[in-house]
Amino acid sequence: MNTILSAGGLNTYYGRSHILFDMGLEVRQGETVCLVGRNGAGKTTTFRSLMNLSPPKSGRVEFLGRNCSGLPPYRMARLGLGFVPEDRRILGPFTVRENLEMGVIAERKGRWNLKTVLECFPTLARMLERMGGSLSGGEQQMLTIGRALMGNPEVLILDEPTEGLSPVIVGELKELVLRLKREGTTILLSEQNIRFALAVSDRVAVMDKGRSVYTGTVEAFRSDEAVQSRYLAV
């Protein structure tokens, strides 16, 4: 499989605080990679660094075979990096339809449009004219994923998608991610919910204190109890 997204040597700071230390990762076409690690390990900062929302002081980001270091976030989005942030960023005073339409990126054509996204999210189809702010947490999560799909991303980045969701909704989200994966979508996500991570991913990357400390297949990670107990609260 070809590498579609890779990063290496990323050093990112918030003010004077050094957060990422030579962080790197690799995502291949069609696979699902999950970043795991304790709270504050640096998963969100890694995604923000890939998008250049938190510009790294050094390091490289390559996407679709080109050097993207330093490209502004809107250019990364236009190239096809679709980011679903942890805090969801639904626009409350806008309808579900408007929220979805905001995800359109004129330069990016593909199989996702309002019709195909609504086929994938029948719940959203029933509440198109409702205000985004009136949706439940689970509905908002589906809406932010739907909005990212509207931009026909080459890689979908989901930052802790299950956070704060009920077990039923987590189950629905799992089916959704597995479906996107079956259809060939390349996915990079972060998770605290290890069961969810292992159920949807092909490979796992573990972060600790701003560094990449382990990468392996889901099978290898599952059988490596030392890594699990050292870096995760399991």
Residues lying near ligand ATP in the complex (CB under 6 A) are found at: 14, 17, 19, 37, 39-45
> In whole angstroms, how close is the CB of 140 to ligand ATP at the nearest point?
18
Residue 102 to residue 89: CA distance in whole angstroms? 12
Residues whose CB is less than 8 angstroms from the CB of residue 126 and which lie 6 or more positions away in sequence, other chains included: none
Q: Decide whether 152 or 162 has the Cβ nearer to ligand ATP.
A: 162
Q: Decide whether 43 or 181 has the Cβ nearer to ligand ATP.
A: 43
Can you state the percent helix, strand and coil of the chain, rounding each to 5? 35, 30, 35
Q: Decide whether 43 or 88 has the Cβ nearer to ligand ATP.
A: 43
Strand residue runs (E) in the chain = 3-14, 17-28, 32-36, 58-63, 66-67, 81-84, 155-159, 186-190, 203-208, 211-217
Which token pair is 130?
A: 């409702």
Q: Decide whether 42 or 138 has the Cβ nearer to ligand ATP.
A: 42
> In whole angstroms, how close is the CB of 188 to ligand ATP at the nearest point?
13
With CA atoms as reference, report the closest residue to 31 among 174, 196, 149, 189: 189
> In whole angstroms, how close is the CB of 207 to ligand ATP at the nearest point?
6
Q: Decide whether 106 or 233 has the Cβ nearer to ligand ATP.
A: 233
Contact 196, 172 (CB under 8 A): no
> In whole angstroms, how close is the CB of 45 to ligand ATP at the nearest point?
3
Q: Is the dihedral of CA 3, 85, 160, 146 positive or negative?
A: negative
In this structure, which amino acid lies at residue 189?
L
Q: Decide whether 12 or 186 has the Cβ nearer to ligand ATP.
A: 12
> In whole angstroms, how close is the CB of 13 to ligand ATP at the nearest point?
9
Which token pair is 86?
A: 């942890």
Q: Decide whether 144 or 152 has the Cβ nearer to ligand ATP.
A: 144
Residue 50 to residue 69: CA distance in whole angstroms? 8
> In whole angstroms, how close is the CB of 173 to ligand ATP at the nearest point?
17
Contact 71, 60 (CB under 8 A): no
